[in-house]
Amino acid sequence: MADTWANSPATEASKDSSERAGGTDLHLDLSGGGSLRGRLMNALREAIRCGRLAPDTRLPPYRTLAQDLGIARNTVADAYAELVEEGWLSARQGSGTRVARRAEPLRTERAPRPQRPVRRRVLHDLMPSSPDAAAFPRAAWLSSARRALAAAPSDAFGVGDPRGRPELRETLAEYLARARGVRTEPDRIVICSGFAHALKLLGRVLEGPVAVESYGLGFHWELLDDAGLGTVPLTVDAHGALVDELMGTGIRATMLTPAHQFPTGGPLHPERRAAVIDWARSCSGLLVEDDYDGEFRYDRQPVGAVQGLDPDRVVYIGSVSKSLSPALRLGWIVTPGWLVDDVLAAKGPREMWSSVTDQLTLADFIACGAYDRHLRHMRQKYRRRRDLLARTIAQRAPHVKVRGIAAGLHAVLDLPHDSEDAALRAAHMQGLAVDGLRLYRHPGSTMPRRDGLVIGYGTPPDHAFTAAVDALCLALPDLPNDDG
């Protein structure tokens, strides 16, 4: 019966069609006792029984599978034929050998999934730090990808250099000097997969504790804590961090957002920029500069990077997460010359994080001017949204102050004392995804607690932004009644 099945015209037609198609790669364990045919049949039954081979999966031609397993072709043909007879497989003209549809895998009992609490559907996403995903320059990026791949040398498709592709590092050195006032050379730039990756690498080379701003992103502090460094909060006011608090502490590393303090807003005051460099020089310390929102300044010329004041005492970190898309996972660390080898040692001997093809594409995207054009376009778009947000709140809730809007993709709405929780509940009832200011306060900070909302205006599509602002105004607290 097996010989008849293996050589029937229908089977031969199926075999030819299946072999032309190339078949499916299988992992089969033929260990154990007994004949090869019996072990192969057991392995196929187990693969079907446990669900690794789903119903209607097409199996490799028996000639191909025999070559892969190093066994005789007739052994595979006989095993297939017998499994067809048993009902595990089916063989039809023109469709090859497949797992029978009735050969359902065994189903294991699963514990019931916990019920999630019912939450109101999010209608408008006003979370901070997210760009307008719909505005990604797909056509321009695709053009750059084509040019970059056509011009890429063959070594670009080998094992990646942990520094990153030289094309991107050279382009970044020129761009950062022109646009951000950064002073560096390509061999002092290390490509990474974003700010968090950069901070993980620095966590292996810095000496703790690290001074940070009292308001910021909690997961950045957690990364430093996980590295065993610990964080010490610095007071933040309208002019940025009070860097004088560093003096005499013995701390030798600090992390700041000088271009636009996140989330409270405002650049680091010029006197404080000079003071933090004086501190770093006096104690052989290091400033980690998070160039947060450096590209998106609306009311005057962008504030240059502090790194330009002393490239030997500043580690400058940037990325395309907000300027293009967080999905690209591309960033860069501009290091002092004496720190490059330590950062590379922390990263490892080869590139395992950032796609080389994306690096090449970004290099072309910047070099051809598409990046500058995209940033100019997005500045106009985000400025219009910022202006609409500020104007509407000034008209409908004038007692709520809008702060931190000279740059970036978010604003802080100052709220009356003890009203943040109520405002968050009201926002959620309106279908808004928003954050409270308290979420960004360092747990060790001694600053007086502020109530507020952190409103991102980058994510909502243009057609929905007005409705999002209207819903936000409905969630804001009324003017406090001073009459008691």
Q: Is the domain defined by 124-131+373-475 classed in CATH 3.30.365.10? A: no
Report, at the CATH architecture level, how domain 137-370 is classified. 3-Layer(aba) Sandwich (3.40)
DSSP H or E stretch at residue 232: strand 231-234
Specify the 3-state DSSP secondary structure of 234.
strand
* DSSP tag of 418: T
Separate counts of helices (H) and strands (E) for the chain: 15, 17
Q: pLDDT for 277-307, tens place per residue?
A: 999 999 999 999 998 777 888 876 667 899 9
Maximal CA-CA distance, the chain: 99
Task: Report the distance separating Cα 218 and Cα 129, nearest Å.
Answer: 14
DSSP code of residue 441 = B
User: How far apart, in Å, are the Cα atoms of 182 and each of 18, 214, 303, 310?
Assistant: 60, 26, 11, 10
DSSP assigned state of 338: G
Cα gap 88→133, rounded to integer Å: 47
Q: What share of the chain is helix, strand, coil (3-state, %, to 5)?
A: 45, 15, 40
Phi, psi of 372 (to 5 degrees): -60, -45
For residue 167, give both structure tokens: 């094309």
**Structure token digits, residue 337:** 């010359």
What are the residues whose beta carbons fall under 8 Å from the beta carbon of 133, sequence distance 6 or more?
A: 325, 459
At 320, which helix (H) or strand (E)? Answer: none
Position 84 scores a pLDDT of 86
Question: Residue 89 corresponds to which tokens in the numbers above?
Answer: 């497989």
Give me 165's structure tokens.
């592709």
Q: Residue by residue, what is the 3-state secondary structure of 396-413?
A: HCCCCEEECCCECCEEEE
CATH class of domain segment(s) 2-99: mainly alpha
What residues contact residue 305 under an 8 Å CB cut-off, 6+ apart?
176, 180, 181, 182, 258, 259, 289, 291, 294, 314, 316
Taking Cα atoms as reference points, which of 173, 171, 172, 192 lies closest to residue 184? 173
User: Cβ(53)–Cβ(99) under 8 Å?
Assistant: yes
- CATH 3.40.640.10 domain extents, the chain: 137-370
| Per-residue pLDDT tens over the stretch 368-388 | 999 999 999 999 999 999 999
In angstroms, rounded to a whole number, what is the distance separating the alpha carbons of residues 11 and 345?
58
Angstrom distances, CA of residue 457 to CA of 154, 264, 460: 43, 15, 7
Q: What is the pLDDT of residue 14?
A: 41
- 241 sits in which H/E element: strand 240-241
Structure-token pair, residue 156: 């670009």
Q: Tell me the C-alpha distance between 197 and 15, whole Å.
A: 50
Q: Which residue intervals of the chain bear CATH 1.10.10.10?
A: 2-99
Which residue matches tokens 């400033």?
A: 287
Pairing state between β 189-192 and 96-99: unpaired
Beta-bridge partner residues of 363: none
Tens of each residue's pLDDT in the chain, 484 residues: 333 333 333 343 344 433 333 456 778 888 877 888 889 989 998 888 888 888 888 888 888 888 888 889 999 988 988 888 888 888 877 778 888 886 455 444 444 544 444 446 788 999 987 899 999 999 999 999 999 999 999 999 998 899 999 999 999 999 999 999 999 999 999 999 999 999 999 999 998 899 999 999 999 999 999 999 999 999 999 999 999 999 989 999 999 999 989 999 888 999 999 999 999 999 999 999 998 777 888 876 667 899 999 999 999 999 999 999 999 999 999 999 999 999 999 999 888 888 999 999 999 999 999 999 999 999 999 999 999 999 999 999 999 999 989 888 999 999 999 999 999 999 999 999 999 999 999 999 999 999 999 999 999 988 999 999 999 999 999 876 554 4
In the chain, ranges of CATH 3.90.1150.10 domains: 124-131+373-475
Distance of CA 345 to the CA centre of its chain: 23
CB-CB neighbours of 108 under 10 Å? 7
Q: Which of 345, 347, 279, 341 is nearest to 314 (CA)?
A: 279
Q: Report residue 80 as tokens.
A: 């297939």
pLDDT at 327: 93
Burial of 80 (0-12, 13-18, 19+ CB in 10 A): buried
471 token code pair: 């819903």
